[in-house]
């Protein structure tokens, strides 16, 4: 990996060979799409339920991908935070197998000219998919590198023509305790709520993920729609989204409500701001030995060159 400065990773064309479980090496070398089999966006929308893992048609966005080797499909799909299915890392993969994501609707509301309820196919149809290999870091001081497949959130939001009053975007996860056993507990307030400032939401790095490793997104990873904001801690990556609302004020997010002194609204990765119960200065990469060396945490998770300008003049120790 090449570094642009002491606190940022240069985003350069990736030379990563994708994980052999989802693509043959020959298929990658043969063409730009890199798929053994492909489906249309409409085909994805019709098949994205249960544990379908159909192949997705996409192009690789090397410009916005890191050059670190991706974690294995096994790592990514069995070590998850998705409290709607339980608080242990293995709970989502064990308890989300029968989660139904078809039919699926997303409600668009608030300060926008176009509002209403849209089907999953409506949401997906206009957006060509691309693969981006992003580093994801969680507040528990562990990290993964994941080859996500999706499209820019900003492209989706602009379709609804937000007005000048739209300063923030609020997202909500499905609330369905019958399907999501974790929602039967009081560990968090339900439904799960997250938010972004609108310039963060429109940033080219912010992704709506619909798949990983070239396949439909597994239930435990947030099917059928989730957010990826790679310079923020993983809890900002809300899963199984059913509501997007344009608002004037910062929404009260779930984790900030659960512990405002531990989980700030912005959640930008900042190694100089510790979580009250552990240091954020270093991280453990999932898949590496638990007793191996930890790696230094990079400001903005290594994306400082791309996003630091969003926070010019802000006290990042106060607005954590």
Predicted local confidence at residue 3, as pLDDT: 41
Strand residues in 189-276 grouped as ranges (E): 193-197, 207-212, 215-216, 226-228, 241-247
Predicted local confidence at residue 52, as pLDDT: 53
Structure token pair of residue 120:
């999953």
Predicted local confidence at residue 54, as pLDDT: 85
Q: Are 87 and 223 in contact (CB under 8 A)?
A: no
Q: How far apart are CA 161 and CA 112, in angstroms?
A: 5
Structure token pair of residue 1:
């990996």
Q: How far apart are CA 59 and CA 132, in angstroms?
A: 9
Domains by residue range for the chain, with CATH: 3-303 (3.90.420.10)
Q: Computed from CA positions of residues 214, 216, 217, 218, in that sequence, does the dihedral angle turn out positive or negative?
A: negative
Residues lower than pLDDT 50 in the chain:
1-51
Predicted local confidence at residue 212, as pLDDT: 97
Model pTM? 0.86
162 DSSP 8-state letter: B
């Amino acid at each position: 990996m090449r570094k642009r400065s002491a606190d940022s990773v240069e985003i350069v064309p990736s030379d990563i060979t994708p994980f052999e479980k989802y693509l043959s090496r020959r298929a990658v070398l043969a063409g730009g799409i890199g798929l053994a089999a492909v489906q249309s966006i409409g085909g994805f929308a019709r098949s994205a339920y249960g544990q379908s893992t159909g192949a997705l048609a996409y192009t690789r966005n090397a410009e916005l991908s890191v050059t670190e080797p991706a974690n294995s499909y096994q790592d990514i799909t069995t070590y998850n935070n998705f409290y709607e299915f339980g608080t242990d890392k293995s709970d989502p993969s064990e308890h989300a197998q029968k989660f139904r994501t078809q039919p699926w609707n997303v409600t668009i509301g608030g300060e926008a000219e176009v509002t209403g309820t849209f089907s999953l196919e409506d949401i997906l149809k206009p957006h060509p998919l691309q693969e981006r290999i992003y580093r994801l870091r969680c507040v528990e001081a562990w990290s993964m590198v994941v080859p996500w497949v999706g499209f820019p959130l900003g492209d989706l939001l602009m379709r609804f023509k937000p007005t000048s009053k739209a300063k923030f975007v609020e997202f909500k996860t499905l609330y369905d305790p019958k399907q999501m056993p974790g929602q039967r507990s009081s560990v968090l307030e339900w439904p799960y709520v997250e938010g972004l400032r609108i310039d963060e939401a429109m940033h080219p790095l912010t992704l709506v993920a619909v798949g990983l490793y070239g396949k439909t997104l597994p239930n435990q990873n947030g099917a059928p729609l989730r957010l990826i904001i790679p310079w923020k801690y993983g809890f900002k990556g809300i899963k199984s989204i059913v509501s997007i609302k344009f608002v004037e004020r910062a929404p009260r997010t779930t984790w900030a409500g659960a512990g405002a002194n531990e989980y700030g609204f912005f959640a930008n990765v900042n190694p100089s701001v510790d979580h009250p119960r552990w240091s954020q200065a270093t991280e453990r990469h999932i898949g590496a030995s638990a007793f191996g060396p930890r790696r230094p945490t990079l400001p903005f998770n290594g994306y400082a060159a791309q996003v630091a300008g969003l926070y010019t003049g802000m006290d990042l120790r106060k607005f954590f």
